[in-house]
Amino acid sequence: MELFLHDRKIVLSQFLILCMIIVVSCRGPVYKPPEIEKLTDHFSRLSVNQSYNVFYGGSNIHMTNNGSSAEIILDKSSGSGLISKEKYYYGFFNAALKLPAHFTSGVVVAFYMSNSDVFPHNHDEIDFELLGHEKRRDWVLQTNLYGNGSVHTGREEKFYLWFDPTLDFHDYTILWNNHHIVFLVDNVPIREVVHNTAISSVYPSKPMSIIVTIWDGSEWATHGGKYPVNYNYAPFITTMKGIELEGCIKQQQNNTNSSSILTPTCSKRSSTSSLDPVDGEGFMKLSSQQMAGLDWARRKHMFYSYCQDTKRYKVLPPECNAT
């Protein structure tokens, strides 16, 4: 009898190990990113309460660690969001986020820049959008940008992450200057948009707020609502810290029309251009190491680019054919 129980335990343990292997393999291969310089080390980290005000859903926002971090929450009553106290023109913007676990279909976490409050019909945006997966506990990362337009003029690209974003904090960074826009994840560039003639008409050009939100995107993010948010798993909590906001601040002036474009002034890095706090040599173009990281991320993790979407575009946008 003891021998039978011993053999049964061995078989059971082997079965559990096999199940774990299957689960891991179903999540896809795990890739280690290349070694790369950490741009986030160049800037000071701020607390959340220093940098942001409540955007909406105040009862679903909890400041933690004396305001150095915050939880933004989605439940059946509301989503929530934070908005930067200042509007910025060019700069380096970072947030370290830890995403909700479990079944997150339809949940959207966004870290983005926008001026839609001032320019509702021709605003600019630069977006990170993290989309809960409808089948597994994975998340999809979407990047987007547009200038002087709307969401219909967006330039989306989608990526699978090379880590589980629910287990720890990871840095999501937007670098925006006159030379290019770079999206970085844990300092690895995943997308670069070079400011050239082909894209100049839709290149973001006006001061923007930095916004972090969590919301129910069921109808938009899951095939027309096929996999809506399941509130049996609520509350969905995203934790945020590691704030870096290094940019030229749009100055408020009395008796000025709010829709006019004011000349921003740079609060830091006075050694660089007055309209570009990230205009130094290290920010004008990607280094060879960063280019290798960009190539790695796009070859192994990008699965959608608008420049390959011939169903959406009968004629691809001009920057898709630019060399």
By annotation, the residues acting in catalysis are: 125, 129
3-state secondary structure of 108: strand
DSSP alpha helix (H) spans, 158-312: 218-221, 281-284, 288-301
Residue 181 corresponds to which tokens in the numbers above? 């826009």
As a whole number of angstroms, the distance between CA 201 and CA 318 comes to 10
As a whole number of angstroms, the distance between CA 130 and CA 105 comes to 11
Q: Cα-Cα-Cα-Cα dihedral of 107, 109, 113, 114, to 10°?
A: 20
DSSP 275-309: T-TT-SHHHHS--HHHHHHHHHHHHHHEEEEGGG-
Q: State the number of CA atoms in the 13 A half-sphere of 117 facing the CB.
A: 11
Strand blocks (E) in 150-272: 157-160, 170-176, 180-185, 188-194, 209-216, 236-249, 265-266
As a whole number of angstroms, the distance between CA 85 and CA 66 comes to 18
50 and 210 Cβ atoms separated by less than 8 Å:
no
